[in-house]
Each structure stands twice: as structure tokens, then as C-alpha cells.
Amino acid sequence: MNRKSILLILTAAACLAAQGCTSRAWYAGFQAAQRQQCYKKISRDEVQQCLDRVSGVTYDDYKKAREDARRGDK
């Protein structure tokens, strides 16, 4: 793991411990971690496709899909 990934994970853990983060902030943190994983791809095309997938889902889209899934489980 590189320093940026470790720092991101530690920041997320501290945020959880402090109970001060919103769901939107958590989502942004996880999205940033996913972007870091994208840069580990071999080709530029793979990196760009990965980044497009990660950036293609906004928090509002994620929240709506999550709420829809919860309603479907009941």
C-alpha cells in the first residue's frame, strides 16, 4: 500500500471514531480510495475506464439506489 492509501484509510477511521462525518463525506472518501486503485491499472485505457466508472456515480445516485434497495428488501 502506498502512503496516500494509508493516509486515506487512517483519515476515514478517524472520521468514524469522531462520529462527525456525514454519509456524503464517507462516500467521497471511498470514492477517492477507489480512484487510487484505478491508478494501479496497467494501461491508460484501463485507468481511464476505471476512473470513469468511479466518477460516474454521484452521491445522490448512490443514495437513491441504496434507498431503492432497502425498499425492495422489505
First to last CA, the chain: 39
Q: Are the beta carbons of 15 and 21 closer than 8 angstroms? A: yes
Instruction: Assess whether pLDDT exceeds 60 at residue 49.
Output: yes
The domain spans of the chain are: 3-73
Q: Please, which pLDDT band fits residue 21 given cuts at 50, 70 and 90?
A: low
Q: State residue 48's pLDDT score.
A: 94
Instruction: Assess whether pLDDT exceeds 90 at residue 29.
Output: no
Q: Are the beta carbons of 59 and 27 closer than 8 angstroms? A: yes
Q: State residue 15's pLDDT score.
A: 64
Q: State residue 72's pLDDT score.
A: 82
Write the burial class of residue 6 (CB in 10 Å: 0-12 exposed, 13-18 middle, 19+ buried). exposed
Q: Please, which pLDDT band fits residue 50 given cuts at 50, 70 and 90?
A: very high
